[in-house]
Structure 1
């Protein structure tokens, strides 16, 4: 049986990045993925500029710089947010993922693609991963390591097999690529007749091609068709160009992201932004915390959960409050009617709130903007529960 120091399951951005960092530290790493080298990612492909500043991400994948976004209310009110500095980049996700994987392979990471993981379990000899090859007759193979990192996407089955509690829920992200006219910047659409309890987007990617997608809890294909064929979108569609693809996205983090001999990182752990469901940046942040924990475990020669628990403490310290407050706002927003959302757009343009909110907004960090927003006196006309207001006030005091 082949033996490694660490087995990483999932060759998305988080899995490839963590594999590379481990290999740079001298660990023998096996990276498993059930897709091919490039995969097919269902993603709007908008990654915050801060992620590129903090991590060595492949700039060759950048299609263009985002310095403005237009929000559209249910009645068609438009609110444009523009910045002098780049707030994000639209990337080619296949090229982005491929580049991160190639960097890992260049550092000596062994890669087994087209390998579906069947089980992960602790044995007397360490962690054992059984997987089925999706080629060559479906051969079942076993690999052994001191530690396993799950860096897949949404994976309730694997979590259950490890005895971990599941996700607090999930949504469906769905997207198609269309040839369109007059889409000059990212547009985000809100409303119960657009994407109930979610949002829809148009993201131009060049040469008239536009990613049209949305996030909803159910009936995703139906809602995408309604969005694309709506009066605000359909007149601009020249040609339906690409297939529709969908994926599950966790609504928040799982309660426990470690156990004897394993860690769970990134989207697999539900470490996604509570407001937009973006997972790349937060996943990379948590990958660095996982790396530190893994190094400590190897120094001690101990891979029991009492040693690995420091990983959860570390990532919660950095992004936990952001996730908690964002999730509370998201849950309260489920009560909003379309009229409430339209009223919000009016409020944002009155009483000097919008300039203050723009100053507080950061693409990947929403806590400060949420605190400012819900504490504003005009918000008394919007049905936010008192507990989220009190939470935001407490957060504001802790920063003073």
Structure 2
């Protein structure tokens, strides 16, 4: 019997597998895809703290960034920069392969083309049911971790609840022309409820994509057509990928013998949709919690609840502020986005970000609150009134 079965061989699942295997635990990782290095709908942008935590070969870094240009629908722009590199664009398929290889080297076993269909647990074990290349299989362990992408039915099956708000990510690999900085497009006709991007990677290649709630295929094609017309990419006829991104965490991320970690648990930045760093931080907590459970032979929900208490202590404030910022941004029209950019220029927001000690690619909370404070103090009363518009109706509530 295995000590732990991890469902999902993404960065978070493999990182956790390596951690546990290095503690001497018997690890099995189940992955539905036939190849761990398959393409994923992710820009692979991480901050320095995440890069340090990953401790990966520098060959996996496609590009570095110390600046970004925000562009509105009318073409107005705002450039933000720092004097040092703050973000790194990673080769995501290669990152998946590298982390899986490290886990294997540490002693973890991988089964590919294995689609988990159910997880049952009792007082003695967990039983993971799966379809392996079309044939039913089952695997037993002391504990199981759900580390899949968002949208898996497993959390609901396990009584962990469901995530009530999400957005769609859409992205394409492109050939770029004359683009050497990250560009972000603030245009809610182009990317309803979200934003779009063009990220240069390496050797004239790049990633064009968006976060949106509506018709991602249609809007991504419109983005590619626009970028081609502007001469920023060489072709709009490129394959596109899509994925759903959680904006809220799971209500519960533990049960008897069970943990949920990473994107499936909603441990994702609501501002950018990035989930690698927060997932890794939670994987560290999960590794410590599971090691303690295995050492004491106590797999109860009461012991495993410490995992949720710890990750929420680290991330809950960031997630709440980020979700509030996302909702505020989502409810702005293009006119209000233009006003926001004009305000940022008028009140030296670029300088604030350049000089701010609060700035971090991975931690947005303090910077968001600082900018909101500047907005409240600096915007005239009549400006605030015109800046606001009737919010859209949504059923989601902001987590406290």
Same fold (TM over 0.5): yes
5 Å-filtered alignment, 1:104-183, equals 104-134=103-133, 138-183=134-179
2:388 is matched with which residue?
A: 383
CA apart distance, 1:57? 3.1
Deviations 1:157-200 (A, max 9, x none): 11111112101222111111122312111111112112111111
CA apart distance, 1:292? 1.2
Residues 180 and 210 in structure 1, CA contact (< 8 A), matched pair in contact too: yes
2:231 aligned counterpart, secondary structure: helix
Residues 144 and 257 in structure 2, CA contact (< 8 A), matched pair in contact too: yes
2:86 is matched with which residue?
A: 87
- The alignment status of 1:67 with 2:72, answered yes or no, reads no
5 Å-filtered alignment, 1:8-19, equals 8-19=6-17
Residues 200 and 207 in structure 2, CA contact (< 8 A), matched pair in contact too: yes
CA apart distance, 1:124? 4.7
2:41 is matched with which residue?
A: 42
5 Å-filtered alignment, 1:199-218, equals 199-218=195-214
1:226 is matched with which residue?
A: 222
CA apart distance, 1:233? 5.5
Alignment partners' CA distance in 1, 2:63 and 2:231? 25
1:260 pairs with 246, 256, 264, which one? 256
Residues 177 and 241 in structure 1, CA contact (< 8 A), matched pair in contact too: no
- The alignment status of 1:308 with 2:308, answered yes or no, reads no
CA apart distance, 1:207? 2.2
CA apart distance, 1:240? 4.1
2:190 is matched with which residue?
A: 194
- The alignment status of 1:56 with 2:61, answered yes or no, reads no
Shift of the 275–384 alpha-carbon distance from structure 1 to 2, 3 Å rule, reads: farther
Alignment partners' CA distance in 2, 1:348 and 1:141? 57
CA apart distance, 1:298? 1.5
Deviations 1:237-268 (A, max 9, x none): 32346411111111121111111110000001
Q: Which has the higher contact order (CA 8 A, sep 6+)?
A: 2
1:277 is matched with which residue?
A: 273
2:360 is matched with which residue?
A: 362
Residues 66 and 81 in structure 2, CA contact (< 8 A), matched pair in contact too: yes
Shift of the 72–282 alpha-carbon distance from structure 1 to 2, 3 Å rule, reads: same
2:184 aligned counterpart, secondary structure: strand
Shift of the 140–234 alpha-carbon distance from structure 1 to 2, 3 Å rule, reads: farther
Is there any run of 5+ residues in structure 2 with no aligned partner, and where? 391-399
RMSD of equivalent CA atoms: 1.8
Deviations 1:185-232 (A, max 9, x none): 111111211211111111112222221111111210001011111268
1:21 pairs with 16, 19, 22, which one? 19
Residues 178 and 241 in structure 1, CA contact (< 8 A), matched pair in contact too: no
2:394 is matched with which residue?
A: none
Residues 11 and 152 in structure 1, CA contact (< 8 A), matched pair in contact too: yes
Alignment partners' CA distance in 2, 1:19 and 1:217? 33
Residues 36 and 93 in structure 2, CA contact (< 8 A), matched pair in contact too: no
1:235 aligned counterpart, secondary structure: coil
Alignment partners' CA distance in 2, 1:233 and 1:371? 37
Residues 227 and 233 in structure 2, CA contact (< 8 A), matched pair in contact too: no
2:2 pairs with 4, 8, 12, which one? 4
1:398 is matched with which residue?
A: none
1:286 is matched with which residue?
A: 282
Shifted more, 67-76 versus 283-292: the winner is 67-76
Residues 156 and 166 in structure 1, CA contact (< 8 A), matched pair in contact too: no
2:160 aligned counterpart, secondary structure: coil
TM-score normalised by structure 1 residue count: 0.91
Shift of the 37–156 alpha-carbon distance from structure 1 to 2, 3 Å rule, reads: closer
TM-score normalised by structure 2 residue count: 0.91
